[in-house]
Amino acid sequence: MINQVGYDINTTDGLVHITITPVNRPLSGGIFFATGIYKLSDGLVGMGDITFDQDMKNWEYNGLDELTYQEAAEIAVFIQNYKDPEGADPADL
C-alpha cells in the first residue's frame, strides 16, 4: 500500500470508516521504503497502528481497546491483500 485508503468495518460499536495510512520513508533518489507500519484513524481520532513483519505475514496491533483482535485481524487481511492502483505514487500524500 502506497497511499492512504479508507475501509469500512462493522465493529461492536457499529459501522466505522477507518483511514489506513501507510508509513513510508523517503530514501535518496525519490525512492520510498515501506516500513510495514499502518496508522489507523477514525476521522481525526487515532486508533493505533498495525505493524507487520518483514514478510507481511505476522502483525501486531497496538491500539488500546479501539478494535477487538478480530476487527484488527480483518483490517490486517485487507492490508495484506490490497493492490495499489496503477500509477500510485507515495509523493501524492
Q: In this predicted model, what pLDDT tens digit does every residue of 31-70 receive, in sequence order? A: 778 899 999 999 888 999 999 999 999 999 999 778 999 9
pLDDT at residue 92 tops 70: no
Residue 86 located in a structural domain: no
What range defines the domain where residue 35 resides? 5-71
What is the number of other CB atoms lying within 10 angstroms of the CB of residue 28?
Answer: 5
Residue 87 located in a structural domain: no
Q: How many domains does the chain have?
A: 1
Residue 12 located in a structural domain: yes
Residue 40 located in a structural domain: yes
Distance set, CA 33 to CA 14, 27, 47, 57, 70 (Å)? 35, 7, 23, 18, 28
Residue 91 located in a structural domain: no
